Amino acid sequence: MNKINSYGTGLVAGLAVFFGLMVGAIIMLVSGFNPVTGYISLVQSALGSSLNIGEVLRSMTPLILTAAGFLVAQSAGFFNIGLAGQVWVGWIASTWFVLVNQSMTPWLSIPLAVIIGALAGALMGALPGWLRAQFGASEVITTIMLNYIALYGGNAFVQGLPKKLMATTDMTNTLHASDSLRWDFLSNLTGGSRLNIGFIIAIVALVAVWFIMKRTTLGFEIRAVGLNPDAARYAGMSAKRTAVTAMTISGLLAGLAGATEGLGTYLNIFSQTAAPQVGYDGMAVALLASGSFLGIFFAALLFSILSVGGLGMPLASGVPTELVSVVTASIIFFIGANYLIRLILVKIDEDDAKQKAKKMKGPKEPEKKVEEAE
């Protein structure tokens, strides 16, 4: 068991990506497409122009934030499936604040809106944390239920806004670029993409969360409770308080992701048929990162390349965009099967060791036949 667990998470994650791409290649071949052409078109569609690169970075923004939020909760021993709902309430709260305060200077309204969005997500995260701490309620069940409450409650809120704020019955007016996180410098730098200040916020937040988790007492307590709650309590730590704190931070980061979506990408609010997908994708990014904050950045980059590049695959190579979802799902599957990958690596090492041992012993000498005396 120790030998199996000794393999680095980076190697296992890399193999998971490789196997996922291989599954995609096999499906392309079976479907009559050239996998080499398909993957080349995917990369070119994602990185072939400054506009597409900007869109890749823009797509990374909510993934970095939601993945960091998931990792904080996971470090405390919790599985926060409510990231999607927390993103949605952060999106609504932040964008609504700017819509109703357009007379306020953007230098004040935008920072306040981002803070309000983050706080809305934090409240949505704190509730299941408190229920777990006080009543032992499974955060998996409560966060799933809260996703539905956030989705339909948010839709009802949007549809009930004053008519002067609405473009249609299901969509608000669009914010002016000056009342958003858009920055002409970033947009012009990337060929007119929607890259905005939210990307900078995400990078700063990722570094801040890394520092909190790795260099502060709070981070140590969160990790200690996640590893062994009983031992943490024996050492004088409050497992209940830590549970609420971890889930609050997790929700805050998800709410911040929602604020960047509303104020940076879409510039409005519109009714959703499902909770924002970035919440679920952020979980996948965190799983691929395998507990590494640096890994979150590169995993988010990979998922964004797949997402943005997949849009150009049908035109460039005829490969349907649905195949990108198959590749992504395959990567997640192999991450979930990381124990199997480690077991395969151990088997390969053992076979190599046996071969080396045989070479060191050299060829066996033929046994001498003893002739019996007649």
Q: Look at residue 8 and tell me whether its pLDDT is greater than 70.
A: no
Q: Residues of the chain with pLDDT > 90: what percent?
A: 70
For the chain, give every domain's residue range: 61-289
Q: What percent of the chain has pLDDT over 70?
A: 89
Q: Do 251 and 82 contact (CB within 8 A), yes or no?
A: yes
The pLDDT confidence band at residue 220, using thresholds 50, 70 and 90, is: very high
Task: Check residue 6 and give its pLDDT.
Answer: 42
Helix axes 338-361, 322-336, angle to 10 degrees: 60
What average pLDDT score do residues 152-160 get?
Answer: 97
The answer on pLDDT for 339 being more than 80 is no
How far apart CA 167 and CA 352 sit, in angstroms, is: 67
The answer to pTM > 0.85 is yes
Q: Tens digit of pLDDT for each residue in 345-359?
A: 666 766 677 777 767
Q: 1 versus 218: which is more confidently predicted?
A: 218
| Each residue's pLDDT tens digit, 78-133 | 999 999 999 999 999 999 999 999 999 999 999 999 999 999 999 999 999 999 99
Grade residue 321 by pLDDT with cuts at 50, 70 and 90.
Answer: confident
Q: Tell me phi and psi for residue 297, to 5 degrees.
A: -60, -50
